[in-house]
């Protein structure tokens, strides 16, 4: 498949950890096994989470592991005009509306309705501002997850997880596409940029699988192509949750890159590869990937 374009899209909130290398490696192997291109995109929109220097550290860690973008990495903070334009198009189509609710207010409504027992349960936006702001100042912009009075249900197929479905209205609720702090939401930016970069295949961690229906919904609304999706197994931290900075994930150790790659490959259910160099390891791993994940 000559037209394959894949990507790895790290957030520069810190160095890569063991879990992020799994996603990076999987997306790279899938691209190479398909004879395709592999791009890196720096997702730096959530400025409060950005860490100074993280982008260079991430690109350095990737390079040591032999994973180098086929083009100059795309940096999302340079793409604001494109997100503005997408939002205008969605507004013109009557798909977005301003919301004046704070997080606390959303929570209070859900508690009152008996939908929220515990503080950190997934919050399904109850549609408070759908019918208008009722005098409240606008904070964020939300995307409708209903068509008239019908819930929108997205059905899709993941190359590893199989058939999936999600009722967006009931499981997510109208979701934020532009935040109260003016920052464009990940869901909108990722869809605009996957299309802009011509991404045909998305390979990323399973923690993002439940975001995919929101992204597919946006692609369909905007008439954008739908990439194929493969969500990779996660690396778990000592607390049993997905490895993240919050549960003490330490920076990926690239002092022995073949060992680091080997560890990531085990998570991807690839056999152990005996190789002396990163290049040699990667080409053997590309064949193993094809045999395991490409039918
Ligand atoms: N930037 C996101 C993250 O680091 C990944 C986005 C994606 O692969 O779609 O979690």
Q: What is the CATH number of the domain that holds 109?
A: 3.90.800.10
pLDDT score of 87: 98
Domains contained in the chain, number: 2
Walk along the chain (295 residues) and give the pLDDT tens digit of each residue: 459 999 999 999 999 999 999 999 999 999 999 999 999 999 999 999 999 999 999 999 999 999 999 999 999 999 999 999 999 999 999 999 999 998 888 888 888 887 766 655 568 998 999 999 999 999 999 999 999 889 999 999 999 999 999 999 999 999 999 999 999 999 999 999 999 999 999 999 999 999 999 999 999 999 999 999 999 999 888 888 888 777 778 899 999 999 999 999 999 999 999 998 999 999 999 999 999 999 8
Separation of alpha carbons 142 and 210, rounded Å: 18
Q: In the prediction, which pLDDT does 188 show?
A: 98
Q: Which of 145, 178, 211 is the last residue of a domain?
A: 178
Residue 190 placed within a domain: no
Q: Indicate whether residue 26 lines ligand 1 (CB < 6 A).
A: no
β-partners of residue 203 are 230
Decide: 80 and 48 in contact? Cβ < 8 Å: no
Assigned token pair, 45: 């929109």
Domain check: are 219 and 247 in the same one?
yes
Quote the ligand 1 centre to 9 CA distance (angstroms): 5
Atom of ligand 1 nearest to the CA of 194: 9
Could you tell me if 220 and 251 lie in one domain? yes
Range of the domain at 103: 93-178
- Between the alpha carbon of residue 154 and those of residues 86, 91, 133, 236, the distances in Å are 21, 21, 28, 28
Q: Is the domain of 97 the same as that of 162?
A: yes
Query: How much distance in Å is there from the Cα of 160 to the middle of ligand 1?
Result: 18
Residues 282 and 209 in one domain: yes
Residue 273's domain is classified under what CATH number?
3.40.50.620
pLDDT of residue 62: 98
What's the pLDDT score for residue 122? 64
Q: Is the CB of 9 under 6 A from ligand 1?
A: yes
The predicted model scores a pTM of 0.94
Q: Which two tokens stand for residue 111?
A: 């508690």
d(C-alpha 272, C-alpha 267), whole Å: 11
């Amino acid at each position: 498949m000559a037209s394959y374009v894949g990507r790895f899209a790290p957030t520069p909130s810190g160095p890569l950890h063991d879990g992020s290398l799994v996603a990076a490696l999987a997306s790279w192997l899938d691209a190479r096994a398909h004879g395709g291109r592999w791009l890196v995109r720096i997702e730096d929109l959530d400025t409060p989470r950005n860490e100074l220097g993280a982008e260079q550290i991430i690109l350095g860690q990737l390079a040591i592991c032999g994973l180098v973008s086929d083009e100059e990495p795309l940096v999302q903070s340079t793409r604001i005009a494109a997100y503005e334009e997408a939002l205008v198009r969605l507004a013109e189509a009557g798909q977005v509306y301003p919301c004046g609710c704070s997080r606390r207010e959303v929570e209070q409504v859900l508690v009152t309705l008996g939908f929220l027992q515990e503080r950190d349960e997934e919050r399904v936006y109850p549609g408070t501002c759908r019918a208008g702001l009722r005098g409240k100042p606008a904070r964020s912009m939300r995307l409708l997850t209903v068509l008239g009075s019908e819930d929108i249900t997205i059905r899709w197929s993941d190359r590893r997880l199989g058939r999936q479905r999600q009722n967006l209205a009931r499981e997510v609720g109208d979701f934020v596409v532009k935040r109260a702090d003016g920052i464009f939401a990940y869901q909108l930016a990722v869809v605009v940029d996957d299309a802009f970069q011509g991404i045909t295949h998305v390979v990323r961690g399973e923690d993002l699988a439940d975001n995919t229906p929101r992204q597919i919904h946006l692609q369909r609304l905007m008439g954008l192509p739908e990439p194929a999706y493969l969500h990779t197994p996660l690396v778990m931290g000592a607390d049993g949750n997905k490895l993240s900075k919050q549960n003490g994930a330490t920076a990926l150790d690239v002092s022995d890159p073949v060992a680091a790659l080997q560890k990531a490959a085990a998570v991807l259910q690839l056999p152990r590869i005996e190789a002396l160099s990163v290049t040699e390891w990667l080409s053997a791993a590309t064949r193993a990937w094809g045999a395991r994940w490409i039918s």
